[in-house]
Structure 1
Amino acid sequence: MIPKALMVQGTTSDAGKSTLVTAICRYYRRQNIAVAPFKPQNMALNSAVTIDGGEIGRAQAVQAAACGLPAHSDMNPVLLKPNTDTTAQVIIHGQVLQNQSANQYHDYKKVAKQAVLASWARLNSQYQAVIVEGAGSPAEINLRAGDIANMGFAEAVDCPVILVADIDRGGVFAHIVGTLALLSASERKRVIGFVINRFRGDMALLQSGLDWLEQETGKPVLAVLPYLHDLYLEAEDALSSRHAHQAGEQAFRVVVPHLPSFSNHTDFDPLQLHPSVDVHFAKHPDHVNGADLIVLPGSKSVRSDLIRLRQQGWEGFLHRHLRYGGKVLGICGGFQMLGRAIHDPHGVEGESGSAEGLGVLDMETTLHTAKCLRQVKGLFAEKAVAVQGYEIHMGISQGAALSRPLFKLADRDDGAISADDQVAGSYVHGLFDVPEACDALLAWAGHTQRQAVDFHALREAGIDRIADAWAEHCDFAKLDAALSAFYGA
């Protein structure tokens, strides 16, 4: 039975919701079913630019790829990008609404719900199946009122739910039974079965627990998915080190200051996967033992991260690195930091005002309320090498440094490279994703081994791998029976 809608919720964050939705999407696509992903509300600093000029969570862009579709803003109608521990930029249908506190957003949820339901209606009318991802856990008691991310959404559209739990964390049966206990009667009825994720061991030893769980809850275990070693999929939000490897003592050393509002961590996945590159995410320069290349990453709060950069001693470290002939690259917010000043007259990222930059590129940046969202293609300015990626920023940079661009894009120049060839910056995210571009950028920085991975092929292989696991380990007879029972078929 092909469900018109099926929602995956998790007993905890990082239980495997994004991965399972991706697997199911690819599985249905293989059956020639028109399928699309959907996440009503997401909170993440890893985002992607959509075909309609919007911005959504990175995980939904990966899920769209699993469906063979370009990412669209309807696939994640509400995106929250944290500015601080208590405030976030609210993005509705791919476009910035405003910054809101947690309490303000709680009051705004009734309006956000209408945006969610409008996107849902459009997707539901276009596709045979829509696979929905929840957020966090449905059992967060303090977030139940006005919920649009989990059971509140499922109840509103009458959608069946699969509950996924991570056995590798331990306590998987407690997670499942405890989550059910905290749901209302109608919500418990909506859960049609369980998926146990990341299992490694002897199934014979697990079977008695599965039998008990089915008897205790009256609901089936639909699949026990294996722990897939060396699986590559982009992280939904938190910086992932699971792709890091031991590159050896002679590895090219890339150091990335780990700043509080570090965004679009996936920029560095191709470098972490590179066989002869060692990527070190460091919170303090004292933790760094030498660097060939320093990369200042994207930032959701550029001025506050710049303050933290100075407080931690990175400014002095960076200038010493340059004096000894090292290279520095800035991406998006990191690019803005390399200039003389950053101005925020409208309070886009907090209190209005200006901040002195690091002063290694002759330019200044002014933040504006309109966000630049676009997918880009072009060439490395000094080499006949293709570059592609996406831009997500709220600043415009001006100055003499821009007369020597880093990239020649299809319709304009981008970034800057210093006259002494030591400092470069760009607004383009994903600039290491294309192997030839990755090799060219590393060669500029002094690394000559052309061993960059084919990032897109690796992602496709990862999607296929999890879809294979779903196809092998799902009990489709149980799933069909559960869906039939839910719909009264």
Structure 2
Amino acid sequence: MTKAIMLQGTGSDVGKTVLVAGLCRLAANRGLKVRPFKPQNMSNNAAVADDGGEIGRAQWLQALACRVPASVHMNPVLLKPQTTTGSQVVVRGKVWGTAGGRDYQALKGGLLGAVLESWEAVRDGADIVVVEGAGSPAEINLRANDIANMGFATRADVPVVLVGDIDRGGVIASLAGTHRILPEDDRRQICGYLINKFRGDVSLFDEGIDQIGAFTGWPCFGVIPWLEEARRLPAEDSVVLERMTRATGGALKIAVPMLERIANFDDFDPLSAETEVEVVMVRPGDELPCDAGLVVIPGSKSTISDLAAFRRNGWDVQLEQHVRRGGHVLGICGGFQMLGRKVFDPQGIEGDKTEADGLGLLDVVTEMEPEKTVRNVSAVSAVFDVPLSGYEIHLGRTEGPDCQRPFSIIDGRDDGAVSADGRVAGTYLHGLFSGDAFRRQYLADLGIEGNGMNYRAEVDRALDGIAARLSELLSPQFPGFEDIL
């Protein structure tokens, strides 16, 4: 029978995604057929699965760790926040609808059937499935109709390991408090816990382990230190954006405005890994740095809304000044749409406002359309004539005179636009900087010599490194892995 283990956290951003990826690679390196699964994810960092449709970027990474194609069944429910109170709901890769937070709490129980069907599809033929929860099971106010944590674990009868983040403090209280407030049926599902992101002498926490055991009766399956290899993996959760600014003093400074509905910000990870590049995530309220050579406007889940916020921050004026100084600009997906003259949304797909003036740096116009483009692509750079690969996830069609100078050619079709002077460009292609040849040429055009790395190989090495560390640190009794630890 297929084994399974689920990692749930005492809160968000406790490191579940990285631990699941590491466990997947550990099992794969031991010759097991392993698969990832996350019943419900909330993220605007999406990927295109190999069988078509959207999934969380984290599950794409975890599939890579398993060395298997990514499937929509690995993340059957994906919530993509569009406003402070509502999200687009994606079910098995396709847009299911939109719902406000309160409405979704009532609706999500009806999605359990789709979750369990996908669960069976993922389990089929696997030796072990490693499941990732979302948020915390201690959010007992959301327990009714839950499909993300204990609602799934109890229904599918999957044992749970609870992950506590010691770096943020209060880990003993977090674990003991979770034990205290969980209903008895949920509490019985938990077979132990992990301490994650520990710094310093692990033996100093021996007494803490004893105290957690006294409060909960749960065994500790390991104390995991801060894993440096995790920095080389794509980040999924927007809560880490505050920590993504690098102050390296690189020869090229790239400024990325942190839009309110920023999407697919892992587009910039390959640039951050370049020795001579400093990527600065510019927070709302801060100014675009005057010494930036390139400003990249990232993807957005709500282009018109983020355009308004862009102007409120004064970034529109600062971007014009950047261009007048000779700086370069690149817009990706929603950022590309924002660079045009106008954005129209006649059907109100993104919200109540049906049109907005763009930033006017490209002579193009975008009209939102209900059918979403979701696909992996291979392309060629129209500027540098080198191969490109990546994926498209977007609503809308963009046309105009600057599209006569495309950014790339995808399956014989023009993509994007470039200004007459070549310093402003836009594209719908996510993941473009993962291509080593393109990244090297793009940086060279900006006067920077790349470090020659193979980005995908670096990610692969990071996964192997995390797997090796976990094999050293986990208890031999870690559920589902007893035979390989």
Q: TM-score, normalised by structure 2?
A: 0.95
What is the one-letter code of the residue matched to 1:311?
Answer: R
- The offset of 1:448, in angstroms, is 2.9
SS in 2 for 1:197: strand
- The offset of 1:208, in angstroms, is 2.4
Q: Is the Cα contact below 8 Å between 1:245 and 1:273 reproduced in 2?
A: no
Residue of structure 2 in register with 1:19 after alignment:
18
Residue of structure 1 in register with 2:352 after alignment:
351
SS in 2 for 1:345: coil
* 1:97/1:480 CA distance change after superposition, 3 Å: closer
* 1:464/1:242 CA distance change after superposition, 3 Å: farther
Q: Distance in 2 between matches of 1:302 and 1:317?
A: 19
Pairwise mapping of residues 389-400 of structure 1 onto structure 2 (< 5 A)? Answer: 389-400=390-401
Q: Distance in 1 between matches of 2:478 and 2:74?
A: 28
Pairwise mapping of residues 136-147 of structure 1 onto structure 2 (< 5 A)? Answer: 136-147=135-146
* 1:287/1:336 CA distance change after superposition, 3 Å: closer
Q: Is the Cα contact below 8 Å between 1:338 and 1:360 reproduced in 2?
A: yes
Residue of structure 2 in register with 1:176 after alignment:
175
SS in 2 for 1:286: coil
What is the one-letter code of the residue matched to 2:42?
Answer: M
Taking every aligned residue pair, what percent have the same amino acid on both sides?
Answer: 45
Pairwise mapping of residues 418-433 of structure 1 onto structure 2 (< 5 A)? Answer: 418-433=419-434
Residue of structure 2 in register with 1:442 after alignment:
443
Alignment pair present for 1:71 and 2:70: yes
Q: Is the Cα contact below 8 Å between 1:194 and 1:221 reproduced in 2?
A: yes
Structure 2: stretches of 5+ with no match in the other structure: none
- The offset of 1:453, in angstroms, is 3.8
SS in 2 for 1:210: helix
Q: Distance in 2 between matches of 1:183 and 1:353?
A: 45
* 1:227/1:448 CA distance change after superposition, 3 Å: closer
Residue of structure 1 in register with 2:340 after alignment:
339
Residue of structure 2 in register with 1:278 after alignment:
278
Q: Is the Cα contact below 8 Å between 2:164 and 2:196 reproduced in 1?
A: yes
* 1:390/1:109 CA distance change after superposition, 3 Å: same
CA deviations on 1:51-103 (whole Å, 9 max, x unpaired) are 12100111111100010012111000000010111010110111111221112
The range that moved more, 89-98 or 319-328, is 319-328
What is the one-letter code of the residue matched to 1:335?
Answer: F
Q: Distance in 2 between matches of 1:204 and 1:39?
A: 33
* 1:212/1:360 CA distance change after superposition, 3 Å: closer
Q: Distance in 2 between matches of 1:322 and 1:351?
A: 32
What is the one-letter code of the residue matched to 1:55?
Answer: E
Residue of structure 2 in register with 1:269 after alignment:
269
* 1:68/1:307 CA distance change after superposition, 3 Å: same
The range that moved more, 308-317 or 280-289, is 280-289
* 1:218/1:311 CA distance change after superposition, 3 Å: closer
What is the one-letter code of the residue matched to 1:464?
Answer: D
Q: Is the Cα contact below 8 Å between 2:2 and 2:126 reproduced in 1?
A: no
* 1:246/1:320 CA distance change after superposition, 3 Å: closer
Q: Distance in 2 between matches of 1:323 and 1:481?
A: 59
Alignment pair present for 1:186 and 2:173: no
- The offset of 1:141, in angstroms, is 2.0
CA deviations on 1:237-258 (whole Å, 9 max, x unpaired) are 214465654432x621211122
* 1:203/1:353 CA distance change after superposition, 3 Å: closer
Pairwise mapping of residues 69-108 of structure 1 onto structure 2 (< 5 A)? Answer: 69-108=68-107
Pairwise mapping of residues 124-203 of structure 1 onto structure 2 (< 5 A)? Answer: 124-203=123-202
Q: Distance in 1 between matches of 2:287 and 2:244?
A: 24
Superposed CA RMSD in Å reads: 1.9
Residue of structure 2 in register with 1:237 after alignment:
237
Residue of structure 1 in register with 2:330 after alignment:
329
CA deviations on 1:362-414 (whole Å, 9 max, x unpaired) are 21111111110111112111323111111110111112211111112234221
Q: Distance in 2 between matches of 1:392 and 1:168?
A: 35
What is the one-letter code of the residue matched to 1:269?
Answer: D
What is the one-letter code of the residue matched to 1:334?
Answer: G
What is the one-letter code of the residue matched to 1:459?
Answer: V
Q: Distance in 1 between matches of 2:393 and 2:326?
A: 31
CA deviations on 1:144-179 (whole Å, 9 max, x unpaired) are 111000000001111111111111222211111111
Structure 1: stretches of 5+ with no match in the other structure: 484-489
SS in 1 for 2:369: strand
CA deviations on 1:110-169 (whole Å, 9 max, x unpaired) are 221111111111112232211110000001022111100000000111111111111122
Q: Is the Cα contact below 8 Å between 1:284 and 1:314 reproduced in 2?
A: no
Q: Give the total of aligned pairs.
A: 480
Q: Distance in 1 between matches of 2:401 and 2:146?
A: 50
* 1:382/1:172 CA distance change after superposition, 3 Å: same
* 1:331/1:183 CA distance change after superposition, 3 Å: same
What is the one-letter code of the residue matched to 1:432?
Answer: F
* 1:364/1:6 CA distance change after superposition, 3 Å: same
Q: Distance in 2 between matches of 1:379 and 1:301?
A: 28
Q: Is the Cα contact below 8 Å between 1:257 and 1:284 reproduced in 2?
A: no
Q: Distance in 2 between matches of 1:456 and 1:133?
A: 23
Alignment pair present for 1:377 and 2:356: no
SS in 1 for 2:371: strand
Q: TM-score, normalised by structure 1?
A: 0.94
* 1:372/1:310 CA distance change after superposition, 3 Å: same
What is the one-letter code of the residue matched to 2:69?
Answer: P
- The offset of 1:288, in angstroms, is 2.2
